Amino acid sequence: MASLAQVMHNKVGPHFNKILPELEKLVGDSYDLILDSLTILRRLFKCNDDQLHFYQEHYNKIHNIITQCLSHEYSKVVSEALRVAGVFVSILRGGPSGDILPQFNSIVQPLYASIRTKL
């Protein structure tokens, strides 16, 4: 799946609602599967602007995955979660001004708090 996400990231967006429940399940599994899930998310988030809405509509679930991984005891999981968080914030900006879109303001502060805790 990670290879598919890297090669076809601009074509997977419309199917993200089918992929996300599986990624949510994997986050509670072994750290190898958690790392794979985070890698998939990071690669999918590197998309064209016309694909952003596929990920933006699931922002709460994605936020939960990231914050759960940031609290993991394994440093590689935390490191990858930090990378995903960085790309995720760029998706939340979405607009040409570079500001966080208003509908995402409710999760930005908790996300930054989780990141700050790990840094």
State pTM to two decimals.
0.84
> What are the structure tokens assigned to 23, written together?
């990624």
pLDDT per residue rounded down to tens, the chain (119 residues)? 555 555 555 677 777 888 899 999 988 878 899 999 999 899 888 876 677 788 888 999 999 999 999 999 999 999 999 999 999 988 888 666 678 878 888 888 898 998 888 88
Predicted confidence at residue 78, as pLDDT, reads: 94
Predicted confidence at residue 38, as pLDDT, reads: 95
Predicted confidence at residue 8, as pLDDT, reads: 58
How many helical (H) and strand (E) elements, i.e. helices and strands, does the chain have?
8, 0
Predicted confidence at residue 105, as pLDDT, reads: 85
Tell me how far apart the alpha carbons of residues 85 and 83 are, in angstroms, rounded to a whole number: 5
